[in-house]
Structure 1
């Protein structure tokens, strides 16, 4: 399924509005307005004053009129809106101002070299993903950890699709809500960095129409990449497993991600050993 590329001007407008409306004027120490606030968050004129731009400019940005703000203006808006680093990157990507020299895909030979690395990481479960969460390579331990993975058609070997729409995997994560939230925040960042990727837009459209949780979380416009953490798994064969994960980005191919799991405790290590010995 494919769809048209994202409308960056419209998404930039919606993102700015959502972040402005999410700010608490009292926490920013702004003076009390002469008239009561009718809507949550900051007013456009307050954002304009904090960023050093005109109110009319903020209005036109929030109306999606196709403006191309400079890097300096974007940095000022990011400061005014108190954006986190990942949100700032998202803002710059939407405006087409970040990483101007980044290649559109992995360099020649990168996938083959990293595929060998995935295999060499055994017995640690590992897999290689692209910016869409397509699974490009995996080792036997990861294949056993993902329920019924070998039966999944190649066209559906996508980590987000497995979590959302593959019944054996839907119940794998004890905290599925947080796993989805983290994955969607990554997909939104990737969506802004690759606005012409119709395949990615198509995946997002499919997920939004087929899974209510995805649609709900996508509408919240959270952005970011969680590169380290812990997950509790409910594996149908190995039982309860707690794993720590690391996401590594190759310097020459930043759109690829190497995901590695490690047992977080001795009980989980024993469970993984039994699973991988089958």
Structure 2
């Protein structure tokens, strides 16, 4: 087990456990000598042996597996940064990236975009769905507010529109770059084999023989 200090993983797990309110999980808070959940309650929520969980808090039993850490993260209701932290403490590395769909952006981030009055700016997901844009982008690029949600995808717009092709003199080079960048983005997000990516790739391949050839060309 990789640690920054003696039993740092156990110390962190114990701290997270004592911060949880038993009432949140329908458990009685009376007759408890210490705050938070008991070890066996966390073990039950994580679907692991109470003995194994106790050993982890005590710094015994060796390094946990990634699956065990994921179960504990779920049992302790850890945030994604907290999950990454227990991976660093327990395994000395970050967890493998896993894809998390994004539906929109925060009002604070939208204000940042709106503050860029003279610069067209958009925010896209790993799937290349545009989820945020400013007025300059709507004027010079595309007014995404007039498109249905599924239509706010850069790849669908690029490979499904003759108008977009006509606006780009070197379309072939741009298309190759875009497909390569899309492949890198979904790989970085841990989404290469996700159902969402597979569905989008199949749709684009039916829509555009050029996309299909570039995707298969890898």
TM-score, structure 1 as length reference? 0.39
Between structures 1 and 2, the one with greater helix share: 2
Q: Which has the larger radius of gyration?
A: 2
Higher relative contact order (CA 8 A, sep 6+): 1
Between structures 1 and 2, the one with greater strand share: 1
TM-score, structure 2 as length reference? 0.49
